[in-house]
Amino acid sequence: MHVSAQSAPSPQPETFVPGSPNVPSPEIAAFLDLPNHAPTRQGFLQSLSQIDPAAPRSDALTQALILALSARNLDMRPAQEFVQHALFYEVSADDAQARVSLPPSTVSLITAFLYHRCNDSLNLEPALIDLRAGLLGFAQTGAAPGEDQIALAEALARHSFTNEYIWEVTETEQAQIDQLTQALSQTIESGGNVSAFALFLVGAHQPLDTIPALRNWVLGLARQDVTAVPDTLRLMVLDRLIEDDIAIDTLTPIQSETSAKVRAQYEENPYPRWRHLPTPTPCDSVETYVAAMLDQPPVSTANTSFNPKVLIAGAGTGQHPIFVAQNLPTAAVLAVDLSRASLAYGIREAAMRDVKNIAFGQGDILQLTGVEQEFDLIESMGVLHHMQDPERGLQALVQALKPGGYLRLGLYSETARRAVTSARQRFATGAYGDDLASIRQFRRDLLDAQEEHAVPLWAFNDFYKTSEFRDLAMHVQEHQFTLPALKSLLKRNGLTFLGFSNPSATAALTKMPASQAKRRRRDFQAWERFEKRNPDAFANMYQFFCVKN
């Protein structure tokens, strides 16, 4: 089999002119010259707030945005938001031909965006779905695709893989995809040339690793020469095959009924599917790391841990433990999770990034007494609130922590999750399953309802990926906390609160005089007043550090 990317010459469409042109700035030129220089990067990102995303872009701005999107870290959020606004104006079109005949600068920008980021703009989503439909309609005409059409189809396939096919597919579209899939399978089995355009269109609507003939071909090619596997097929097919074969140590049994249900959810939808990590800031000790996360000066103690043992309880797909391992390069990090599928994803990502100070194992927090270690630092983000008895889980973590050791937790805020609570109630009373069709339907019903909340559900990034949406609004088990309840929980379990690591919280403290910030950092009543004024401040959980007494 050979993947053919033959295409017809691309027509040159008219330039899109929605507003007044923007002018190249010194910040753009500086970023293009020194993209890895932090002050230069921040200067460029800040300059975007002064640019109209609806205005025609200079070539320099397009190049800078593409460079920012492709950066392998999370620092480029302002660039993603700018691009999402710009593409909303450029991709929206009323007729099918216009949807697939975009200006070259738009094609370059949208392919970079879809390759490297996951759309979380509710305004842009329909335009991207229309673009996908336009390309599928173009394929039905039998005309030869141009290079731009192939590039757009490939980018949409990669993006659909990332958002785990959360976009709806019509019955007509599914019938067309079924026909394309059958034709692809027959061509592969006969050793013929496969149309790259057709292959990517199928991948934009459903997982490519579900096509047996394609799986076999990719595996055979990889055994001969892994570098010969095209990048998109490696991402969408080969990496899944690699994960299937990864051996994972079992550290503890999984006996709790609730743990078994949670495990089943994450085996089906490993969470989260990710591509990027924050830029690491290597620290020489746990104390330095904790201080950096709390945005405060480090405090040296007699018990400073320069070669710490770290436990990530609830490792998911590895993004969190790999980040910690990179920030604590002298640490021995143990990453534990219920789900083998999630752990396999993390093991593959750690190997790809050559992160060697980390080990992965399957286990249940409730059974941690079987792990014969005491840890200098334990982090458990977004885990305890999915247990039947969160306090019992906390007690297991505290028992595994050294005296004077640090514990970082992430727990849901009742105040910030009012929209989530409403959605969960709707899910509980509806006749929804947990398959992809039901997830799509539930998401559509929520959008149609358009309930009013201070933080609407679609303001959460989790709304835009299947596994994350399921975790957000359809989880089999969830508890939420208030600040008074959190204060009591920590006191009962011999923990001293050190402060929140949420950006909204640390930003609020930086605006205060140092002496006032020091007092407020650990003052629960002050944080209660803060949350009342800013009800969405902890939308991404209460994220905080404490120390074992």
**What distance in Å separates the CA atoms of residue 544 and residue 316, rounded to the nearest whole number?**
19
What digits encode the pLDDT tens for the residues 127-174?
999 999 999 999 999 999 999 999 999 999 999 999 999 999 999 999
Residue type, 6: Q
Instruction: Name the strand (E) or helix (H) holding 347.
Output: helix 340-352
Statement: residue 302 has pLDDT above 60: no
> Looking at the predicted structure, is the pLDDT value of residue 289 above 70?
yes
Number of other CB atoms surrounding residue 524 within 10 Å: 13
pLDDT of 5 higher than 60: no
pLDDT at 510: 79
User: 342 pLDDT band (50/70/90 cuts)?
Assistant: very high
Distance separating alpha carbons of residues 281 and 535, to the nearest angstrom: 30
List, in sequence order, every residue forming a beta bridge with 379; answer none if it has no partner.
312, 408
Task: Calculate the alpha carbon distances from 166 to 118, 130, 211, 535 in Å.
Answer: 12, 15, 19, 28
Inter-residue contact 51 to 10 (CB < 8 Å): no
Residue written as token pair 């596994």:
467
- Looking at per-residue pLDDT, the higher value among 92 and 91 belongs to 91
User: Which distant-in-sequence residues (6+ apart) come within 8 Å of 303 by Cβ?
Assistant: 404
- Confidence at 13, pLDDT banded by 50, 70, 90: very low
pTM: 0.89
